[in-house]
Chains A and B, each alone.
Chain A
Amino acid sequence: MTSQSLTFALEGVNCAGCISKIENHISQRQGVMLARGNATTRRIRLVWDPAHQTANTLADQIRALGYGALPFHPGDAMLKEPSMLPQLGLAGFAMMNIMGISFAVWAGVGTDMGPGSMQFLHWISAALATPVVFYAGAVFYAPALRALQHGQMTMDTPITVAILVTFAASVFETLRGTHHVYFDAVTALIFFLLIGRVIELVLKRRSGDAAENLRNLMHIEARRELPDGAIERLPADQLYPNDIIIVETGERVPADGILLSEHAQVDESAISGETLPRDVDRAEAIAASAIVFAGPARLRVTHVGEDAQIGKIAQMISDASGYKGPMQKRADQFARSYIPLVLGGGVLGFVIWYVFLGASFADALMIAVAVLVVTCPCAAGLATPAVSARAVNLLMASGIVVKSGDALERLSNISAVIADKTGTLSAPLPQLFMCDEAIQKEAAKLAIGSSHPLARMLCADLQVVPAAGLSEKPGRGILASNGARLGSAHFVGADQTVDHPALWYCSPEGQTYCFSFHETPRDDLEYLIHSLRDQNLPLTLLSGDSHLAVTAFAQKHGIKTWHAAASPQDKLRFLQDCLSAGEKPLMFGDGINDAPALQAAYVSVSFASATEVAQITADIVLAHPDPKLLPYAIATARDARHLIGQNLWFSAAYNIVTVPLALAGLLSPLIAAGLMSASSIIVLANSLRLKEPK
């Protein structure tokens, strides 16, 4: 039996439940052999019998459930880095076994374990540690080596040195038959560092998947008009600039283009975040991925593929993730200054003991290793994640999802807040502003026949019967057989214009009325503005909306700085300028147009109801569109930073005391292990003091 298969990228899928719903629905269709969704990449793989179904009928089935489905064309990005799970598993397995054996050895040192048994246990540990060091640890050696070839040092450099020196010394001591072996320390170091790397990789992959699904928005079918007037269907990536294309109502525009028809109305929410359809006249530009609301639209293609605006946004997101350097740079700066000190300390200890104090080579090497082990940033390493884990859990309970401990740390350091307007500080759709209820009821009888967002808003809470003989003039308005009209000012014959979204109604008697829609701020916006003022964070409005609308909104709510009519590029540039000027801006936004800025910002916040790309690029996602959560998150992050500071001071003090002791050759491995555990427990206990801010 023959079968066809295809992967679809899904839109509007927020959880595994949605995926499961689609799977169930599709797998019950006749001829469908496989429907397997992936909630992480938001894609679904379908296999079907071509006798019963086609890719189009299946895509329609998914759309009928209220989700978007587009055939997914894997790009080169599909060649993924291998996962580090096998390395992690191996390191964890070896670490736990070696720890068990180490306890026996430590207990044996103080009692009567014979040298033969001790030697045997050391050899077992060595056998377990060897694959960890040479297979799992290789994750750190390759980047360290690459950096070294360029004369640089990164955090991987000391890790590599510590692992290799400690391992070599331990093997050497095992051969000599002493008990100064540190196979447990080496494997534990590799295991815990790998956990961090695996989490980092998972997060990176998620944002990569989002960018790829976004690029996929461009991979749709187009209808090209040939010179003889015939229409040819072809995949959108085979379009060229200057081709003439036709886009029907309800379809997505496959490439950036110039409108050749007299008039069209498009929903560009994917690009601009603007939820109301935009009127487009002849010779105006329409961006790829816009949905034609009232058409058909005849376009001359100007930009295709990666050059199209949406391709550029996808590109900007991946570029901006490379730009997000300050944090990484700081870690490397730390490595550059702290690491040579550690290495130098080890070398110094060796030289002093071997050359000047006449110790044996092995004793001197052991002292050097003791210095390296004791400075191994265990307490310092726990200082931050222990507090972060506690804070992330606290915030999660209030509906604030922090994607990494790193994001929390950055959140506590912000110096400014930059927010998008529409959909972020204000409700996504404008609300109907005071009107005569009787007239609203009359108008709703017409509005109920239209799918325009404003019309739907007009009849939202009203139970009305549709007027007789409704006919919709797409992009202009709706008309009943009794002569009543609802639509644009021009359509109903009113000669006024207003500067805000409005619907005009003309009664059968010829009387015209205007329904005004005003942008409404989110509940608790005032609270947000006051809280940010109390927290000493200036708020800047960065909106793609018109100067008039943004200025009015900012002045009404006492926001002192604002930038209007900002394109995604402008927003990105603004954030980058802020960063270059030494600011640490928090970006708060919800649209695809905010995504590059969200990615570039020092730290970024979005909503669970925002576009998928915004959610995935943001560091922090608020479960409810409630601006009140933001000051709460900032306060918690600042408390956490305070505790992290205490922990770091403590671990620094610990090093200041223990390093000289190790250099003096006074620390036995047993005492060092005890000190290390005690310092870790103190750090953990201190972290639990984090409470909800008042």
Chain B
Amino acid sequence: MTAIIYLIPISIGLGLCGLLGFFWSVRTHQYDNMESDAFRVLSAEDVPLSDQERSILCDPENRS
């Protein structure tokens, strides 16, 4: 039974990583526009973004 003393904290720690990922996704507005992205993934071109496009997309002003 002594194994639970470190196994349970480890499993909760792993879960916390997932939770932090969720917090990050909320904070970066990833749930603000759920419908459009589902369509955008179908129609967007498969080309990597240029540096300029990336900087425009990362500007908080432009998050729709």
Contact B40 A39 (CB under 8 A): no
Most chain A CB neighbours (cut-off 10 Å) among B15, B39, B42, B61: B39
Contact B57 A34 (CB under 8 A): yes
Closest chain A CB from B38 CB (angstroms): 7
Contact B40 A23 (CB under 8 A): yes
Interface membership of chain A positions 651-693, coded 1 if the CB is closer than 8 angstroms to chain B and 0 otherwise: 0000000000000000000000000000000000000000000
Cα–Cα distance between A23 and B12 once the two chains are bound (Å): 42
Interface membership of chain A positions 1-36, coded 1 if the CB is closer than 8 angstroms to chain B and 0 otherwise: 101010100000001110110011000000001101
Q: Which of B4, B32, B61, B62 contacts A117 (CB 8 A)?
A: B4
Contact B43 A37 (CB under 8 A): no
Contact B26 A83 (CB under 8 A): yes
Closest chain B CB from A679 CB (angstroms): 30
Q: Which of A150-176 contact B (CB under 8 A)?
A: none
Q: Which of B12, B18, B19, B43 contacts A20 (CB 8 A)?
A: B43
A66 at the interface (CB under 8 A from B): no
Chain A residue contacts of B35, Cβ below 8 A: 15-16, 19, 39-40
Closest chain B CB from A334 CB (angstroms): 32
A134 at the interface (CB under 8 A from B): no
Contact B36 A16 (CB under 8 A): yes
Chain B residue contacts of A117, Cβ below 8 A: 1, 4
Chain A residue contacts of B40, Cβ below 8 A: 20, 23
Chain A residue contacts of B23, Cβ below 8 A: 86, 89
Chain A residue contacts of B31, Cβ below 8 A: 83, 85
Chain B residue contacts of A23, Cβ below 8 A: 36, 40, 43
Q: Which of B10-24 contact A (CB under 8 A)?
A: 12, 15-16, 18-19, 22-23
Q: Which of A516-555 contact B (CB under 8 A)?
A: none
Stretch of A42-50, A237-245, A599-607 at the chain-chain interface: A42-50
A65 at the interface (CB under 8 A from B): no
- The closest CB in chain A to the CB of B18 belongs to A93
Tell me if B's interface is mostly helix, strand, loop or mixed: helix
Cα–Cα distance between A21 and B36 once the two chains are bound (Å): 11
Cα–Cα distance between A10 and B63 once the two chains are bound (Å): 16
Contact A1 B52 (CB under 8 A): yes
Q: Which of B12, B22, B52 contacts A97 (CB 8 A)?
A: B12
A38 at the interface (CB under 8 A from B): yes
Chain B residue contacts of A15, Cβ below 8 A: 35
A120 at the interface (CB under 8 A from B): yes
Contact A5 B26 (CB under 8 A): no
Report the count of interface residues on A (CB-CB < 8 A).
37
Chain B residue contacts of A120, Cβ below 8 A: 4-5
A369 at the interface (CB under 8 A from B): no
Chain B residue contacts of A16, Cβ below 8 A: 35-36, 38-39
- The closest CB in chain B to the CB of A127 belongs to B12
Q: Which of A479-532 contact B (CB under 8 A)?
A: none
A124 at the interface (CB under 8 A from B): yes
Closest chain B CB from A525 CB (angstroms): 34
Contact A97 B62 (CB under 8 A): no
Known: A34-B62, A38-B32, A39-B33. A90 touches B19 (CB 8 A): yes
Interface membership of chain A positions 350-386, coded 1 if the CB is closer than 8 angstroms to chain B and 0 otherwise: 0000000000000000000000000000000000000
Most chain A CB neighbours (cut-off 10 Å) among B18, B22, B36: B36
- The closest CB in chain B to the CB of A80 belongs to B32
Contact B26 A86 (CB under 8 A): yes
Contact A128 B12 (CB under 8 A): yes
Known: A86-B26, A93-B19, A124-B12. A36 touches B4 (CB 8 A): no
Known: A24-B43, A44-B64, A97-B15. A38 touches B33 (CB 8 A): yes
- The closest CB in chain A to the CB of B22 belongs to A89
Contact A34 B36 (CB under 8 A): no
Most chain A CB neighbours (cut-off 10 Å) among B12, B31, B53: B12
Chain B residue contacts of A101, Cβ below 8 A: 8
B47 at the interface (CB under 8 A from A): no
Chain A residue contacts of B43, Cβ below 8 A: 20, 23-24
Cα–Cα distance between A421 and B43 once the two chains are bound (Å): 41
- The closest CB in chain B to the CB of A17 belongs to B39
Cα–Cα distance between A40 and B8 once the two chains are bound (Å): 41
Chain B residue contacts of A114, Cβ below 8 A: 1
Chain B residue contacts of A24, Cβ below 8 A: 43
Chain A residue contacts of B33, Cβ below 8 A: 38-41
Closest chain B CB from A383 CB (angstroms): 30
Closest chain B CB from A14 CB (angstroms): 11
Chain B residue contacts of A5, Cβ below 8 A: 61-62
Cα–Cα distance between A5 and B33 once the two chains are bound (Å): 19
Contact B22 A38 (CB under 8 A): no
Cα–Cα distance between A1 and B19 once the two chains are bound (Å): 39
Contact A20 B8 (CB under 8 A): no
Chain A residue contacts of B32, Cβ below 8 A: 38, 40
Contact A47 B62 (CB under 8 A): yes
Contact A19 B36 (CB under 8 A): yes
Closest chain B CB from A103 CB (angstroms): 13
Cα–Cα distance between A101 and B8 once the two chains are bound (Å): 9
Contact B62 A89 (CB under 8 A): no
Cα–Cα distance between A24 and B43 once the two chains are bound (Å): 8
Closest chain B CB from A175 CB (angstroms): 20
Closest chain B CB from A152 CB (angstroms): 32
Interface membership of chain B positions 27-59, coded 1 if the CB is closer than 8 angstroms to chain A and 0 otherwise: 100011111101110110000000011001100
Contact A89 B36 (CB under 8 A): no
Cα–Cα distance between A86 and B33 once the two chains are bound (Å): 17
Q: Which of A87-137 contact B (CB under 8 A)?
A: 89-90, 93, 97, 101, 114, 117, 120-121, 124, 128
The 4 A-B residue pairs with the shortest CB-CB distance, nearest first, are A39-B35, A20-B39, A16-B35, A38-B64
State the B residues within 8 Å of A (CB). 1, 4-5, 8-9, 12, 15-16, 18-19, 22-23, 26-27, 31-36, 38-40, 42-43, 52-53, 56-57, 61-64
Q: Can you name 20 extra interface pairs (CB under 8 A) apart from A16-B36, A47-B62, A120-B4? A: A16-B39, A17-B39, A19-B35, A20-B39, A23-B36, A23-B40, A36-B62, A37-B36, A38-B36, A39-B33, A39-B35, A40-B33, A41-B64, A83-B26, A85-B26, A86-B22, A93-B16, A97-B12, A117-B4, A124-B12
- Show 20 A/B contacts (Cβ-Cβ < 8 Å), sorted by A: A5-B62, A16-B35, A19-B39, A20-B36, A23-B40, A23-B43, A24-B43, A33-B52, A33-B53, A36-B63, A36-B64, A38-B32, A45-B64, A85-B31, A86-B26, A86-B27, A93-B15, A120-B4, A124-B8, A128-B12
